[in-house]
Amino acid sequence: MKKVNYIISYLLVVCFLISVLTLSSTLTLHTSATYNFNFNDGVAFKKAPAPVEPNKISSELTKYLISPSKEKFQIYEVNGRYKDPIFNKKEQEVMKRVKTIFSIELFASVLSAVVFFALYRYLYSNGFKEALGNRMKFALYITSGCVIARIIAISIKTFRVSLYANMIGIKIDKPSILIPIFGDPFFKSYIMFSTIIAVVLIGITIYFNKKFVKPVRIFS
């Protein structure tokens, strides 16, 4: 196996790791079910500064995050003949930055997945099945470990606060509807859904890799 192929095989590992972590995250963050699960019991919005419908919030939120043409996030409270905006300019700026970060993650997930499949096909087509099997075994080990590390990290409040401060950096005034949307209760929904998706992606990879190369046993 030439040096360039060694580099390609380890690049395959990196791309697989990035694609599983980012794809599981971006699918979670762009799915209304994640937010509905968080809002399900209605407790999240009990202290909200304005009356809101949880289902409407989750629906409009996912539409905003998915649509490239929507620049501002706003939901209106119907008050007789008038429609009062729920989110102020600072909250809209927060959502704008959130959307930018989520969009970058989405791009990274698609790019890493495409590169991974291209590299996998290259190694398979050139007869490096044994090396491919070994690299995928390593990739599955390290990716599983990183999924566990993500669970632990996001479960720590100090980490979440630091992450928000470094990536968003806008202090939200209380009370704000954004707090129940992305506040402490939300991380539980995020961990659950992103982990389930990551496990499914890893399981699918094991299944198809087993069909193409020698069996991959990650627990032996």
Position 82 scores a pLDDT of: 64
Q: Which residues contact 43 (CB under 8 A, 6 or more apart)?
A: none
Q: How far apart are CA 120 and CA 132, in angstroms?
A: 8
pLDDT at 118: 96
Backbone angles phi, psi at 82, to 5 degrees: -110, 155
Q: What is the C-alpha separation between 64 and 78, in angstroms, rounded?
A: 20
What is the C-alpha to C-alpha distance for residues 170 and 195, in angstroms, rounded to an integer? 28
How confident is the model at residue 151, as a pLDDT? 96
**Residue-level pLDDT, tens digit, the chain, 220 residues:** 578 888 999 999 999 999 999 999 999 999 888 888 877 755 555 555 556 677 778 888 888 999 888 888 888 776 656 677 888 888 888 889 999 999 999 999 999 999 999 999 999 998 888 888 889 999 999 999 999 999 999 999 899 888 888 888 777 777 777 777 777 778 888 999 999 999 999 999 999 988 888 655 555 5
Residue boundaries of the structural domains of the chain: 3-49+106-212
77 membership: H or E segment, kind and range: strand 76-79
Residue 72 confidence (pLDDT): 85
Q: What is the pLDDT of residue 91?
A: 87
Q: What does pTM read for this prediction?
A: 0.85
Output the CA torsion sign for 42, 57, 25, 123. Answer: positive
